[in-house]
Amino acid sequence: MITRKKPMILAGSDVEGLGGKLSITNPANGSLISELRMASAEQVDLAFEKATAAIRKNDWFARPPHERASVLFRTAELMLERKDELAHLQTSENGKTLKESLGQVSAAAGIIRYFASVCETVEGETPPPRGPYLSVTTYEPLGVVAAITPWNSLLTMAAQKLAPALAAGNAVILKPSELTTLVSIELARAFVDAGLPEGLLSVLPGDSSTGEAIINHPDLAMVSFTGGTNAGRAIASAVAGRFIPTILELGGKSPTIVFADADLDKAAADVSSAIFGSGGQSCVAGSRLFVEKSIYDDFLDRLVAVSKKLNVGPPLEDASNIGPMASEAQRARIEGYVDLAKKEGGRILLGGTRPDTDDCRDGAYYLPTIIDGLDHSSAVCQEEIFGSVLVALPFTTEDDLVTQANDTVFGLACGIWSRDLTKAWRIAGAIKAGTVWINTYKQLSIAAPFGGYKESGLGREKGIQGLRAYQQAKSIYLGGLGG
């Protein structure tokens, strides 16, 4: 069970914030969940001071790998013991359906277990001798890492930053989105309760000024950020002069591609899930649909029919497939893009408005929306909306398809549906994206590196690469072995 404590974790201890007020509301009904104080500038400095002291003490990294791993394994166990509470907390803060939040608790625990196993089993390297010396490559922690997380999938996003950073021997300062502060604190508390040493983890609630104080702190050794491209660009600029390693997992405008030879019913179900799952509030949401011209009308009819069956409603109800958008501001952003699409000549094939049911009236709900008739150069086709909006476009040839699909500043993900696997594989190779799915979508493995091309990001999370990203390599040579 989760026991409510003070609303901030500083160096592993529960404290009160000393900064400005932060109000947290439930997007499902507009009610106030909590009011708390943000971290002050002095508390940011203290978190770095404690983290730096913990790193210098070297007790955590000096422990045998199995001892560090045991803390992570225990963290995963505690998360599962607190599964219901964590899931309800995330749902109340960002509007995800409860069943999705429950799944994300399990997924986050799995991420932490994976990195515990990697910590326990992955070692340095000893290359074969090439002369009268022995060389060894070791991997050391970077120091104090800033982990900055978004509001859309806090549990999994935070887990895939905290677990590898801590497994690699670092200290972490977590700056969560203002919208998902409470669940971030409770997730971190599982690490603390599992026995993580003092000083190695802080959760500092706050706004953009808090983030800036963290990013600009002189003791910062690395940044791992997931969020919007503009914010990522600002972070990269802020740390570039100090040569600080950075992982940026940013925006997307991912194409989904349906060929005439595909299983059209399966493709329609998958495409609908690719964009409307999580209310479209996913970095890999398949927000641009390209359909072979010969089946364009038929496929859109199937897609509309499938998507009409999605139930938008209160996230705690089992019948709800989609909850509210994460905030009123996010819904307003979506509505602005839909209005722009109409002005640019787009046709609304589905949705394009708020639901009119009584149980959705007070929340930030929006119906799944499908638009066609737009030129691919339009803002709605080019800019990330981050909501339940899909734009559909026809294509004629493979060259036409690849040109349009790659005509974007983003390159995060792509989905392809075709029974011709040779063709699908060829198209997958031509698409500039970090992840490509064929005849499926959103199938993710913590063991597979994840990240984007172009303005979708820098670096990779997950997998063994995801651990090494939080370490620096050192080669040591021992000479005088030739006699």
Mean pLDDT rounded to a whole number for the chain = 95
**For helices 65-81 and 83-94, what crossing angle results, to 10°?**
70
Encoding tokens for residue 136?
């060894």
How confident is residue 191, by pLDDT bands cut at 50, 70 and 90?
very high
Which entry of 93, 186, 283, 360 is annotated as an active-site residue?
Answer: 283
Question: Helix, strand or coil for residue 406?
Answer: coil
Active site residue 161: yes
Helix then strand then coil, in percent of the chain rounded to 5, is 45, 20, 35
Question: Helix, strand or coil for residue 326?
Answer: coil
CA dihedral 433, 438, 442, 444 (to 10 degrees): -80
Q: Give the domains, in start order, of the chain with CATH numbers.
A: 9-250+455-475 (3.40.605.10), 255-445 (3.40.309.10)
pLDDT digits (tens, 9 = 90+) for 85-134: 999 999 999 999 999 999 999 999 999 999 999 999 998 887 777 778 88
Alpha-carbon Rg for the chain in angstroms: 23
Q: Is-contact 303 268, C-beta < 8 A?
A: yes
Active site residue 249: yes
Phi-psi region of 30 (alpha: psi -120 to 50; beta: other; left: phi over 0): left
How confident is residue 170, by pLDDT bands cut at 50, 70 and 90?
very high
**3 CB contacts (<8 Å, ≥6 apart)?**
none
Q: Would you say the C-alpha torsion 229, 232, 238, 244 has a positive or negative sign?
A: negative
Query: Is 302 a residue whose pLDDT tops 90?
Result: yes
Which entry of 178, 335, 384, 461 is annotated as an active-site residue?
Answer: 461
How confident is residue 188, by pLDDT bands cut at 50, 70 and 90?
very high
pLDDT digits (tens, 9 = 90+) for 314-352: 999 999 999 999 999 999 999 999 999 999 999 999 999
**133 CB contacts (<8 Å, ≥6 apart)?**
477, 478, 479, 480, 481, 482
Encoding tokens for residue 304?
């509309």
- pTM higher than the cut 0.75: yes
Which entry of 93, 178, 186, 249 is annotated as an active-site residue?
Answer: 249
**Helix ranges, 168-253 (H):** 181-193, 208-215, 229-240
- Catalogue the E-assigned strands of 236-365: 246-249, 255-258, 288-292, 347-350
- Catalogue the E-assigned strands of 373-447: 389-395, 413-417, 435-438
Query: Is 2 a residue whose pLDDT tops 60?
Result: no
**For position 7, what pLDDT does the model report?**
78
Active site residue 283: yes
**For position 4, what pLDDT does the model report?**
52
How confident is residue 483, by pLDDT bands cut at 50, 70 and 90?
low
* Cα gap 116→133, rounded to integer Å: 33
Query: Quick count: other Cβ atoms within 10 Å of Cβ 237?
Result: 10
First to last CA, the chain: 64
**For position 394, what pLDDT does the model report?**
98
Encoding tokens for residue 86?
């964590």
Helices (H) and strands (E) in the chain, counts: 16, 19
Active site residue 123: no
Query: Is 1 a residue whose pLDDT tops 60?
Result: no
DSSP assignment letter at 58? -
Question: Helix, strand or coil for residue 393?
Answer: strand
Which entry of 161, 175, 253, 462 is annotated as an active-site residue?
Answer: 161
Beta strands 255-258 and 288-292, pairing class: parallel
pLDDT digits (tens, 9 = 90+) for 205-246: 999 999 999 999 999 999 999 999 999 999 999 999 999 999
* Cα gap 374→342, rounded to integer Å: 9
**256 CB contacts (<8 Å, ≥6 apart)?**
270, 271, 274, 275, 286, 288, 289, 290, 414, 415, 416, 417, 441
Of 147, 144, 163, 181, give the one whose Cα is nearest residue 39: 181
Size of the chain, expressed as the number of residues it contains: 483
pLDDT digits (tens, 9 = 90+) for 397-427: 999 999 999 999 999 999 999 999 999 999 9
- Quick one: average pLDDT of 9-15? 94
